[in-house]
Protein backbone atom coordinates (compact mmCIF):
# COMPACT_ATOMS: atom_id res chain seq x y z
CA UNK A 1 0.00 0.00 0.00
CA UNK A 2 1.41 3.36 -1.04
CA UNK A 3 -1.45 5.51 0.14
CA UNK A 4 -4.79 5.10 1.88
CA UNK A 5 -7.54 7.66 2.51
CA UNK A 6 -10.35 6.69 4.88
CA UNK A 7 -13.74 8.37 5.26
CA UNK A 8 -12.76 11.77 3.85
CA UNK A 9 -15.22 14.66 4.24
CA UNK A 10 -14.89 18.28 3.13
CA UNK A 11 -17.14 21.34 3.47
CA UNK A 12 -16.97 24.75 1.80
CA UNK A 13 -19.21 27.50 3.18
CA UNK A 14 -21.49 24.92 4.75
CA UNK A 15 -21.79 22.82 1.57
CA UNK A 16 -20.41 19.29 1.66
CA UNK A 17 -18.23 18.71 -1.42
CA UNK A 18 -16.75 15.36 -0.31
CA UNK A 19 -18.74 12.75 1.57
CA UNK A 20 -17.17 9.66 3.20
CA UNK A 21 -14.64 9.04 0.41
CA UNK A 22 -12.19 6.18 0.88
CA UNK A 23 -9.40 5.30 -1.54
CA UNK A 24 -6.41 2.96 -1.54
CA UNK A 25 -3.47 3.20 -3.97
CA UNK A 26 -1.32 0.09 -4.40
CA UNK A 27 1.92 -0.55 -6.23
CA UNK A 28 1.54 -0.65 -10.03
CA UNK A 29 -1.98 0.85 -9.96
CA UNK A 30 -3.26 2.88 -12.92
CA UNK A 31 -6.31 4.71 -11.61
CA UNK A 32 -8.79 6.85 -13.51
CA UNK A 33 -10.94 9.23 -11.45
CA UNK A 34 -13.91 10.26 -13.59
CA UNK A 35 -16.73 12.68 -12.94
CA UNK A 36 -18.39 15.82 -14.21
CA UNK A 37 -16.81 19.19 -13.46
CA UNK A 38 -17.57 20.28 -9.92
CA UNK A 39 -18.13 16.80 -8.47
CA UNK A 40 -15.19 17.07 -6.04
CA UNK A 41 -12.32 15.48 -7.98
CA UNK A 42 -9.86 18.36 -7.62
CA UNK A 43 -10.71 18.83 -3.94
CA UNK A 44 -10.00 15.15 -3.32
CA UNK A 45 -6.63 15.44 -5.07
CA UNK A 46 -5.68 18.55 -3.10
CA UNK A 47 -6.38 16.66 0.13
CA UNK A 48 -4.47 13.65 -1.14
CA UNK A 49 -1.44 15.87 -1.84
CA UNK A 50 -1.79 17.68 1.52
CA UNK A 51 -2.63 21.04 -0.04
CA UNK A 52 -5.86 20.98 1.95
CA UNK A 53 -7.01 19.19 5.09
CA UNK A 54 -10.17 17.09 5.41
CA UNK A 55 -12.93 18.05 7.82
CA UNK A 56 -13.68 15.69 10.70
CA UNK A 57 -17.23 14.68 11.57
CA UNK A 58 -16.45 11.95 14.10
CA UNK A 59 -13.32 10.70 15.82
CA UNK A 60 -11.22 8.53 13.51
CA UNK A 61 -12.53 9.76 10.16
CA UNK A 62 -10.46 11.69 7.65
CA UNK A 63 -7.35 9.53 8.02
CA UNK A 64 -4.62 9.61 5.36
CA UNK A 65 -1.81 7.06 5.56
CA UNK A 66 1.27 6.93 3.33
CA UNK A 67 4.07 4.41 3.18
CA UNK A 68 7.59 5.68 3.79
CA UNK A 69 8.48 5.16 0.12
CA UNK A 70 5.60 7.24 -1.26
CA UNK A 71 6.65 10.33 -3.21
CA UNK A 72 3.99 12.27 -5.09
CA UNK A 73 4.21 14.35 -8.24
CA UNK A 74 1.09 16.49 -8.67
CA UNK A 75 0.10 18.18 -11.93
CA UNK A 76 -2.59 20.76 -11.18
CA UNK A 77 -5.04 21.96 -13.81
CA UNK A 78 -3.01 25.08 -14.61
CA UNK A 79 0.27 23.17 -14.80
CA UNK A 80 2.25 25.10 -12.17
CA UNK A 81 4.93 26.36 -14.57
CA UNK A 82 6.61 29.77 -14.48
CA UNK A 83 5.40 31.05 -17.85
CA UNK A 84 8.16 33.66 -18.08
CA UNK A 85 11.03 31.21 -17.59
CA UNK A 86 12.83 29.41 -20.37
CA UNK A 87 12.44 25.65 -20.64
CA UNK A 88 15.97 25.10 -19.35
CA UNK A 89 15.51 27.49 -16.41
CA UNK A 90 12.25 25.80 -15.40
CA UNK A 91 13.72 22.31 -15.52
CA UNK A 92 16.81 23.32 -13.54
CA UNK A 93 14.61 24.89 -10.84
CA UNK A 94 13.76 21.34 -9.72
CA UNK A 95 17.37 21.00 -8.55
CA UNK A 96 17.62 24.34 -6.71
CA UNK A 97 19.17 22.89 -3.50
CA UNK A 98 21.81 21.10 -5.56
CA UNK A 99 22.51 24.19 -7.67
CA UNK A 100 22.85 26.35 -4.55
CA UNK A 101 25.29 23.80 -3.15
CA UNK A 102 27.22 23.86 -6.43
CA UNK A 103 27.46 27.65 -6.25
CA UNK A 104 28.82 27.44 -2.71
CA UNK A 105 31.36 24.84 -3.84
CA UNK A 106 32.55 27.21 -6.57
CA UNK A 107 33.02 29.97 -4.00
CA UNK A 108 35.07 27.67 -1.79
CA UNK A 109 37.14 26.49 -4.79
CA UNK A 110 38.06 30.06 -5.64
CA UNK A 111 39.06 30.72 -2.04
CA UNK A 112 41.22 27.59 -1.89
CA UNK A 113 42.88 28.44 -5.19
CA UNK A 114 43.87 31.78 -3.60
CA UNK A 115 45.46 29.93 -0.69
CA UNK A 116 42.59 30.18 1.82
CA UNK A 117 42.07 26.60 2.99
CA UNK A 118 39.68 27.42 5.85
CA UNK A 119 36.75 26.06 3.86
CA UNK A 120 38.38 22.82 2.74
CA UNK A 121 36.42 20.63 5.17
CA UNK A 122 33.13 22.26 4.19
CA UNK A 123 34.00 21.84 0.52
CA UNK A 124 34.62 18.10 0.81
CA UNK A 125 31.43 17.63 2.84
CA UNK A 126 29.37 19.52 0.24
CA UNK A 127 31.06 17.70 -2.64
CA UNK A 128 30.17 14.31 -1.14
CA UNK A 129 26.53 15.34 -0.64
CA UNK A 130 26.39 16.85 -4.14
CA UNK A 131 27.73 13.69 -5.78
CA UNK A 132 25.58 11.30 -3.72
CA UNK A 133 22.45 13.21 -4.74
CA UNK A 134 23.18 13.17 -8.46
CA UNK A 135 24.46 16.71 -8.78
CA UNK A 136 26.90 15.87 -11.57
CA UNK A 137 24.08 14.29 -13.63
CA UNK A 138 21.62 17.22 -13.53
CA UNK A 139 22.05 18.33 -17.13
CA UNK A 140 22.02 14.75 -18.43
CA UNK A 141 18.78 14.04 -16.54
CA UNK A 142 17.12 17.17 -17.93
CA UNK A 143 18.10 16.44 -21.52
CA UNK A 144 16.98 12.82 -21.23
CA UNK A 145 13.53 13.73 -19.86
CA UNK A 146 12.98 16.61 -22.31
CA UNK A 147 13.94 14.40 -25.22
CA UNK A 148 11.47 11.77 -24.00
CA UNK A 149 8.76 14.47 -23.95
CA UNK A 150 9.54 15.45 -27.54
CA UNK A 151 11.57 18.64 -26.92
CA UNK A 152 14.79 19.19 -28.87
CA UNK A 153 17.76 21.26 -27.73
CA UNK A 154 16.54 24.14 -29.92
CA UNK A 155 13.54 24.58 -27.57
CA UNK A 156 15.55 24.88 -24.35
CA UNK A 157 15.98 28.67 -24.60
CA UNK A 158 12.36 29.39 -25.52
CA UNK A 159 10.03 31.16 -23.07
CA UNK A 160 7.33 28.81 -21.78
CA UNK A 161 4.47 31.25 -22.47
CA UNK A 162 5.14 30.81 -26.20
CA UNK A 163 4.28 27.09 -26.24
CA UNK A 164 0.91 25.54 -27.04
CA UNK A 165 -1.36 24.09 -24.35
CA UNK A 166 -0.30 20.54 -25.12
CA UNK A 167 3.38 21.46 -25.07
CA UNK A 168 2.98 23.19 -21.70
CA UNK A 169 1.31 20.07 -20.31
CA UNK A 170 4.23 17.94 -21.49
CA UNK A 171 6.70 20.43 -19.99
CA UNK A 172 4.84 20.31 -16.67
CA UNK A 173 5.01 16.51 -16.70
CA UNK A 174 8.72 16.67 -17.60
CA UNK A 175 9.31 18.85 -14.57
CA UNK A 176 7.44 16.37 -12.37
CA UNK A 177 9.42 13.43 -13.73
CA UNK A 178 12.68 15.15 -12.79
CA UNK A 179 11.45 15.00 -9.18
CA UNK A 180 11.28 11.19 -9.61
CA UNK A 181 7.92 10.54 -7.90
CA UNK A 182 6.57 7.00 -7.71
CA UNK A 183 2.97 8.29 -7.69
CA UNK A 184 2.03 10.68 -10.48
CA UNK A 185 -1.27 12.56 -9.99
CA UNK A 186 -2.68 14.42 -12.99
CA UNK A 187 -5.71 16.72 -12.65
CA UNK A 188 -7.60 17.32 -15.93
CA UNK A 189 -4.34 17.28 -17.95
CA UNK A 190 -6.04 17.26 -21.37
CA UNK A 191 -8.36 20.21 -20.73
CA UNK A 192 -8.17 22.56 -23.71
CA UNK A 193 -6.02 20.28 -25.86
CA UNK A 194 -6.83 19.58 -29.49
CA UNK A 195 -7.59 15.96 -30.54
CA UNK A 196 -4.09 15.21 -31.80
CA UNK A 197 -2.48 16.46 -28.58
CA UNK A 198 -4.93 14.43 -26.50
CA UNK A 199 -4.03 11.26 -28.39
CA UNK A 200 -0.34 12.00 -27.95
CA UNK A 201 -0.88 12.63 -24.26
CA UNK A 202 -2.78 9.37 -23.74
CA UNK A 203 0.08 7.45 -25.36
CA UNK A 204 2.55 9.30 -23.16
CA UNK A 205 0.70 8.44 -19.95
CA UNK A 206 0.48 4.79 -21.00
CA UNK A 207 4.27 4.75 -21.30
CA UNK A 208 4.79 6.54 -17.98
CA UNK A 209 2.54 4.09 -16.14
CA UNK A 210 4.88 1.20 -16.96
CA UNK A 211 7.27 2.12 -14.13
CA UNK A 212 5.22 4.36 -11.82
CA UNK A 213 1.72 4.66 -10.41
CA UNK A 214 -0.59 7.07 -12.23
CA UNK A 215 -3.81 8.60 -10.90
CA UNK A 216 -5.56 10.52 -13.67
CA UNK A 217 -8.55 12.75 -12.88
CA UNK A 218 -10.74 13.84 -15.79
CA UNK A 219 -14.29 14.37 -17.01
CA UNK A 220 -13.34 12.97 -20.43
CA UNK A 221 -13.98 9.22 -20.48
CA UNK A 222 -11.81 8.48 -23.51
CA UNK A 223 -8.78 9.88 -21.68
CA UNK A 224 -8.80 7.01 -19.20
CA UNK A 225 -10.45 4.21 -21.16
CA UNK A 226 -7.15 3.00 -22.61
CA UNK A 227 -4.94 4.04 -19.68
CA UNK A 228 -6.54 3.13 -16.36
CA UNK A 229 -6.76 -0.36 -14.95
CA UNK A 230 -9.12 0.74 -12.20
CA UNK A 231 -11.75 3.42 -12.80
CA UNK A 232 -13.53 5.37 -10.04
CA UNK A 233 -16.74 7.18 -10.91
CA UNK A 234 -17.29 10.21 -8.70
CA UNK A 235 -20.67 11.90 -8.31
CA UNK A 236 -21.75 14.67 -5.94
CA UNK A 237 -18.69 14.27 -3.74
CA UNK A 238 -19.00 10.49 -3.41
CA UNK A 239 -17.34 7.55 -5.13
CA UNK A 240 -20.40 6.08 -6.83
CA UNK A 241 -18.84 2.93 -8.30
CA UNK A 242 -15.42 1.52 -9.14
CA UNK A 243 -13.87 -1.32 -11.13
CA UNK A 244 -12.21 -2.13 -14.41
CA UNK A 245 -13.79 -0.88 -17.63
CA UNK A 246 -15.24 -4.34 -18.23
CA UNK A 247 -16.64 -4.56 -14.70
CA UNK A 248 -18.28 -1.14 -14.94
CA UNK A 249 -19.86 -2.00 -18.27
CA UNK A 250 -21.17 -5.32 -16.92
CA UNK A 251 -22.61 -3.58 -13.86
CA UNK A 252 -24.77 -1.11 -15.80
CA UNK A 253 -28.33 -1.16 -14.45
CA UNK A 254 -29.63 0.04 -17.82
CA UNK A 255 -29.33 -1.26 -21.37
CA UNK A 256 -28.07 0.41 -24.52
CA UNK A 257 -30.27 0.62 -27.60
CA UNK A 258 -30.03 1.83 -31.17
CA UNK A 259 -33.11 3.03 -33.00
CA UNK A 260 -34.20 5.22 -35.89
CA UNK A 261 -36.76 7.96 -35.30
CA UNK A 262 -38.35 10.54 -37.61
CA UNK A 263 -37.23 14.14 -37.35
CA UNK A 264 -40.44 15.09 -35.55
CA UNK A 265 -39.64 12.73 -32.64
CA UNK A 266 -36.00 13.69 -31.97
CA UNK A 267 -36.77 16.36 -29.38
CA UNK A 268 -39.17 14.04 -27.55
CA UNK A 269 -36.48 11.37 -27.32
CA UNK A 270 -33.92 13.83 -26.02
CA UNK A 271 -36.35 14.84 -23.27
CA UNK A 272 -37.46 11.32 -22.38
CA UNK A 273 -34.20 9.37 -22.47
CA UNK A 274 -30.48 9.48 -21.87
CA UNK A 275 -29.27 9.86 -25.43
CA UNK A 276 -25.62 9.04 -25.98
CA UNK A 277 -25.45 9.92 -29.66
CA UNK A 278 -27.55 11.45 -32.42
CA UNK A 279 -26.64 10.69 -36.03
CA UNK A 280 -28.68 12.64 -38.55
CA UNK A 281 -29.97 10.70 -41.54
CA UNK A 282 -32.43 11.66 -44.30
CA UNK A 283 -35.82 12.25 -42.68
CA UNK A 284 -34.72 11.63 -39.11
CA UNK A 285 -31.90 10.35 -36.91
CA UNK A 286 -30.24 7.24 -35.54
CA UNK A 287 -30.17 7.45 -31.75
CA UNK A 288 -28.04 5.62 -29.20
CA UNK A 289 -30.09 5.48 -25.99
CA UNK A 290 -29.37 4.28 -22.47
CA UNK A 291 -32.61 2.94 -20.98
CA UNK A 292 -33.91 0.01 -18.92
CA UNK A 293 -36.79 -0.51 -21.31
CA UNK A 294 -36.99 -0.63 -25.10
CA UNK A 295 -37.29 3.04 -26.18
CA UNK A 296 -38.91 2.33 -29.56
CA UNK A 297 -40.51 -0.63 -31.31
CA UNK A 298 -37.61 -0.97 -33.76
CA UNK A 299 -34.90 -0.44 -31.09
CA UNK A 300 -32.19 -3.12 -30.98
CA UNK A 301 -29.72 -3.92 -28.21
CA UNK A 302 -26.11 -2.86 -28.83
CA UNK A 303 -22.89 -3.43 -26.91
CA UNK A 304 -22.34 -0.79 -24.21
CA UNK A 305 -19.18 1.29 -23.91
CA UNK A 306 -17.57 3.19 -21.06
CA UNK A 307 -19.16 6.36 -22.47
CA UNK A 308 -22.55 4.70 -21.97
CA UNK A 309 -21.63 3.89 -18.36
CA UNK A 310 -20.77 7.54 -17.78
CA UNK A 311 -24.11 8.63 -19.23
CA UNK A 312 -25.95 5.99 -17.21
CA UNK A 313 -24.62 7.29 -13.91
CA UNK A 314 -24.19 11.01 -14.66
CA UNK A 315 -26.58 11.82 -17.48
CA UNK A 316 -29.50 14.06 -16.62
CA UNK A 317 -32.93 13.16 -17.95
CA UNK A 318 -34.93 16.29 -18.71
CA UNK A 319 -38.27 14.50 -18.96
CA UNK A 320 -40.20 11.90 -16.98
CA UNK A 321 -41.53 9.76 -19.80
CA UNK A 322 -40.87 6.02 -19.61
CA UNK A 323 -42.94 5.12 -22.64
CA UNK A 324 -41.73 4.10 -26.03
CA UNK A 325 -41.37 6.62 -28.84
pLDDT tens, position by position, 234-264: 999 999 999 999 999 999 988 999 999 999 9
Q: Cβ neighbours of residue 136 under 8 Å, at least 6 residues apart?
A: 130
Q: Report pLDDT for 188.
A: 87
Task: Write down the domain spans for the chain.
Answer: 3-71+182-248, 83-169, 252-314
Residue 320 pLDDT: 37
Do 89 and 96 form a contact (C-beta atoms < 8 A)? no
pLDDT of 111 over the 80 cut: yes
Question: Hey, how many other C-beta atoms are within 10 angstroms of the C-beta on 62?
Answer: 21
Could you tell me the fold of the domain covering 3-71+182-248?
A: Rossmann fold (3.40.50)
User: CA-CA-CA-CA torsion for 249, 254, 260, 264, nearest 10 degrees?
Assistant: -130
Q: Is the pLDDT of residue 221 over 90?
A: no
pLDDT surpasses 70 at 195: yes
Q: What is the pLDDT of residues 115-151, one digit of tens each?
A: 999 999 999 999 999 999 999 999 999 999 999 898 9
Rounded Cα distance, 207 and 193, in Å: 19
pLDDT score of 190? 82
pLDDT for 79: 72
In this structure, the number of other CB atoms found within 10 A of the CB of residue 298 comes to 13
Longest CA pairwise span in the chain (Å): 96
What is the spatial distance between Cα 111 and Cα 115, in angstroms, rounded to a whole number?
7
Amino acid sequence: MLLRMTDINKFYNGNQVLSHVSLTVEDHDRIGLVGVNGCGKSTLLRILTEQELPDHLVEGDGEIARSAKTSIGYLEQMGGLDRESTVWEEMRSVFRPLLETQERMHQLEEAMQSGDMAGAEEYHRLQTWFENNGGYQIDVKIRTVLNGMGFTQETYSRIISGFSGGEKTRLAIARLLLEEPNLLILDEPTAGLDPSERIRFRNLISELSEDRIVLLSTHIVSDIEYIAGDILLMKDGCLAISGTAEELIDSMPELVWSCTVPKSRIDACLKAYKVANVKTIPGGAELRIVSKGRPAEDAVRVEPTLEDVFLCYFGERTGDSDGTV
